[in-house]
Amino acid sequence: MLVEIRVVLGVGSGVVFGAVIGVVLGVVWGVVSGVLWGVVFGVVWVVVSGVVLGVVLGVGLGVVFGVVSGVVVSGVVSGVVSGVGLGVVLGVLHGVGYGVRSGVVFSVLSSVGFIFTFPRPDNWLIGLLASPQGRLFPRITFLPLPGLTSTLQQWLQQDWETAINNLNQYLRYSHQFIPVLVAVNRVLSQFPEAEIIYRVSRLAENISDWQLLKYASAKLFSFPDSKIRLDTPARAAAAGFWYLHQRDTEKAEKAFAVVRSLAYGEEMYSLAQTLHRFSLAATPDSIASLKVAPIAAEPSLRPQTWQAISSLNLVITEMALVKGSYSQQVRSLALNRIIGELIDIADQQAANLPQAEKALILFIVLKWAEISTSIAKTVGTVTITQPIPNPYIIGDPVIGKRFVGREDILRELQSMWSGDNLSSVVLYGHRRMGKTSILRNLETYLPPDVSVIYINLQRLATVTSLAEVLLTMAEEIAQTLAIDAPEEEKISQHPEMYFNRYLDRLMRQILPEKAKTGLIIALDEFEIIEDLIEANTLPQNFLGYLRSLVQSSPRLAFVFAGLHTLEEMTADYFHPFFGSVYPIPVSFLSPESTRVILANPVGEDEDFPLDYTPSALDKIYQLTHGQPYLVQLIGFHLVRFYNKQVFELQRPQDIRFQVEDVEKAIDDEFFQRGNYYFTGVWKQAKQDAAGQQEILIVLSPHLQGLTRGDLLSSTGLTATTLDWALKTLENHHVIECQDCRYRIAVELFRRWVSETMA
């Protein structure tokens, strides 16, 4: 029992003494080390560590010694004395010694480490001693270099653009952010207000650290968060570009509203406002309901951004079609155009967008693309339950809403016939190029007071005299205008005189009665006239007579349509006549027009349930080179192919034609049906210059074409004959020359020649 009491007393005395001594020593050690450290971090760390260490050592040693001494000596006094004494000695010696040593060592080492790791005074001193040109050397220290701010300020005042590049070097390769910021803010505050937005926009164009723009309008050492200030034009402009970069369009709009009255202020305010509206649209309906944004007038500060906004405007317009049209085709085509515009922004325009708004615009594009893709399946769903009526027209002229692709020619004719004087023209081109379709659709594109008389001169193939020719023309005029035809007996006696009187009465009396002020007579297949002249059915001066008709009235005009020989008729006896008319070539369709004809053959008011992949459309153009007849013929065969697969053979067939489907359509039946076109081109190559057919035969096996030297050695033609034949074939658009290599222009015609004539 006595032993237990001694143990308890020893333990108690050791604990109390150890705790007191440990606390005292810890405080003393913490204070001393804190003074040596001199900063808050050293005080806190060393005090805490000293207290903990002193308590642990004092208590531990006191307990051990108290227990041992209490048991061995077997007395309260000896246990207490020895426990207290040894606890004091050990606590003081170890607490003070360790506290002093560790405090000094830790404080010195940590202070030195901090100073030479972060502020780097050594690096700062080296930069201080260096010349201004060498001050890029201190790449580590963030201590401001004396004089650097003034140097940067001078650079900015002298040459803003060059200085910005230099500033970017400091921001990129050093920690001298504060001198750069101070210099920029000082110089911006000195510029005239009219220059502020332009200067800030140039600063934001290729900035290395966007924090520079942020703290051009916010306090640098304001915690917990620096508040953007709009109290000066420079700060408001910098804030506007900063918010654009952060995709905070609402705040950007407010910032630019402050400088709205300055140069480019209205533009940037409108730009931020537009992008804010666009960024909020998150559904098809919200996109479709957006108002089309007005585009800034040139010259603008951000032309690339306005180009992207213009493309987004088109997306809005097309989305309205997708949501508002009942036509499956109109919706599908509109959706395709939407996706095309968005892809163009992302793939083509993005590289040139200013950095401030680039991420924002691409965010809008991505969001709208996801929305468009989400509705693509519903828009593209079509159910076909019966054979599709074939909308493609082969052989006959295309009339009405299905006539597309010749807008350039029609605009030219409109401009020529919109004034008081109606000019006569010659339309010339290869067979099946669409000349007749142009003539049959002329009246749709002309003013209502101008009448068009279409006359197919193939009706004259069996005539035997000039009187029959003029009578046929007069009958066509009478039938079109619903008037009496001239008497055959009278026109037979004096054909030219009577026809002149007939036209004169028509222009002076009949047309005004019908509220008409002009008359255009369209003569198709005009080469028939040449044949009749050569056969002596018509007199040699007949073209001179036509020329007199052309010049008889400013409100009377002729349109002569025929083969390329019309262009070549300007020689010999045809020259006086064709010197009075304006020639217009009718050649291949453009790729865009070819796609429209194929994808929308029934016109915009009706739905065409079938579609083409872009690669299929490209393939058709590569095969046809835009030859209208062949384009229609391929479409015709593809519809027949679809109907046969689905409704005759009961086989599944995608409603969207692929390249493989196009190749399947080019079969023996296709070439048989197109034989009229192929033989027509082939026969015309036998006329005029010699050697044309020989050249075509040699070229037909070579898809990439041959050089002139190759042709000279392969055809056996003389150089003169070869050159004349090549020129004729080029003028007739049968061959083309690219990179000094001649090739047959229409791939399908090349295949026909290779299979049939080679």
- The DSSP letter of residue 510 is I
Structure tokens at 17: 């003494």
Least confident of 219-228, 269-278, 538-547: 219-228
pLDDT, position 403:
85
- Token pair of 380, please? 């593209």
Give 461's pLDDT tier (boundaries 50, 70, 90).
Answer: confident
Question: Which comes out higher in pLDDT, residue 712 or 217?
Answer: 712
- Share in percent of the chain as helix, strand, coil (round to 5): 65, 5, 30
Show Cβ contacts of residue 608 under 8 Å, excluding neighbours closer than 6 positions.
329, 391, 599, 600, 601, 602
Q: Where are the beta strands (DSSP E) in 595-658?
A: 611-612, 656-657
Between 344 and 88, whose confidence is greater? 344
Q: What's the Cα-to-Cα distance from 96 to each of 36, 465, 491, rounded to whole Å?
A: 15, 138, 141
Per residue in 601-641, pLDDT (tens digit) is 887 667 788 888 889 999 999 999 999 999 999 999 999 99
The gap from C-alpha 315 to its chain's centroid, in whole angstroms, comes to 12
Architecture in CATH for domain 407-584? 3-Layer(aba) Sandwich (3.40)
As a residue count, the chain comes to 758
pTM reported for the whole predicted model: 0.54
What is residue 737's predicted lDDT score, i.e. its pLDDT?
Answer: 96
Most confident of the ranges 89-93, 179-183, 573-577, 672-676: 672-676
**pLDDT tens-digit profile of 682-722?**
998 988 899 999 999 999 999 999 999 999 999 999 999 99
For residues 340-345, give the mean pLDDT: 95
pLDDT computed for residue 698 by the predictor: 97
User: What is the Cα–Cα distance from 290 to 735, expressed in whole angstroms?
Assistant: 50
Q: Identify the CA nearest to 491 among candidates 508, 473, 476.
A: 473
Cβ neighbours of 56 (radius 10 Å): 12
Would the pLDDT of 24 be above 90? no
Of 390 and 572, more confident: 390
> Could you tell me the residue ranges of all domains in the chain?
139-272, 281-381, 407-584, 592-666, 685-757
Burial, 744: exposed, middle or buried (Cβ in 10 Å; 0-12, 13-18, 19+)?
Answer: buried
User: Domain spanning 685-757: which CATH class is it, in words?
Assistant: mainly alpha
C-alpha–C-alpha distance, residues 48 and 35, integer Å: 15
As a whole number, the mean pLDDT across the chain is 80
List the single range of 51-55, 249-253, 472-476, 479-483 with lowest mean pLDDT.
51-55
Q: What is the pLDDT of residue 487?
A: 83
Separation CA 532–CA 467 (nearest Å):
13
Contacts of residue 109, defined as CB under 8 A and 6 or more positions apart, other chains included, come to none
Q: What is the DSSP string of 577-602?
A: HHTTSEEEE--PPPHHHHHHHHH-TT
List, for residues 155-167, the tens digit of each pLDDT value: 888 888 888 888 8
Say how far apart CA 581 and CA 426 lie, in whole Å.
7
